């Protein structure tokens, strides 16, 4: 094999090794919980094997968004999707809005008004579910209102 071909093969191996090391470094970066990524993990995901486990006595809060129009501000309708926000970050955004984050509320308001321009009020419904205690025939506990605000 001529020396030029050997040098090209070495360069290819070095480039491939760099790509592999980079992919592994990105995966390790996703696993670090203290890094703030805003809930965005694409193309790497926060796999369940790296997540905390939910045991049979744990409580999990499930958040849903409901909206009301200006004409019927006392009648809220559930929002069936995540408003174009990545599905992995939507529950975290709802939690931040429930906790009073003005930046999260502004983000959610902009997304709400882009899809539902007649929306005037938003409500986050929180259902606390005890892990491992429900069968498919059981009725789930009623949701409570986590936060209600005027959409701007």
| In a shared domain, residues 42 and 107 | no
| In a shared domain, residues 119 and 133 | yes
| In a shared domain, residues 92 and 116 | yes
Lateral strand order in the sheet of 119-130:
77-78, 59-69, 119-130, 144-150
Helix axes 102-115, 90-98, angle to 10 degrees: 120
Instruction: Indicate if the pLDDT at residue 152 is higher than 80.
Output: yes
Residue 46 has a pLDDT of: 53
CA distance 39 to 108: 14
Instruction: Indicate if the pLDDT at residue 41 is higher than 60.
Output: no
**Residue 42: which region, alpha, beta or left (left: phi > 0; alpha: psi -120 to 50)?**
beta
In tens, the pLDDT along 69-101 reads 888 767 898 888 778 787 778 888 999 999 999
| In a shared domain, residues 120 and 88 | yes
| In a shared domain, residues 107 and 131 | yes
Instruction: Indicate if the pLDDT at residue 110 is higher than 70.
Output: yes
Range of the structural domain that residue 35 is part of? 3-49
| In a shared domain, residues 143 and 108 | yes
3-state secondary structure of 62: strand
């Amino acid at each position: 094999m001529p020396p030029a071909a050997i040098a090209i093969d070495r360069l290819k191996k070095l480039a491939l090794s760099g790509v592999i090391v980079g992919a592994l470094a990105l995966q390790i970066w996703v696993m670090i919980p203290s890094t703030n990524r805003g809930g965005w993990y694409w193309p790497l995901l926060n796999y369940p094997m790296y997540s905390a486990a939910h045991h049979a006595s744990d409580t999990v809060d499930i958040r849903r968004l409901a909206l009301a129009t200006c004409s019927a501000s006392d009648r809220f309708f559930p929002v069936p999707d995540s408003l174009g926000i990545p599905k992995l970050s939507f529950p975290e955004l709802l939690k931040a809005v429930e906790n009073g984050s003005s930046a999260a509320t502004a983000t959610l308001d902009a997304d709400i008004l882009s899809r539902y321009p007649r929306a005037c009020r938003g409500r986050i419904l929180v259902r606390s579910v005890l892990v491992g205690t429900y069968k498919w025939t059981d009725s789930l506990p009623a949701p409570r209102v986590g936060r209600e605000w005027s959409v701007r």
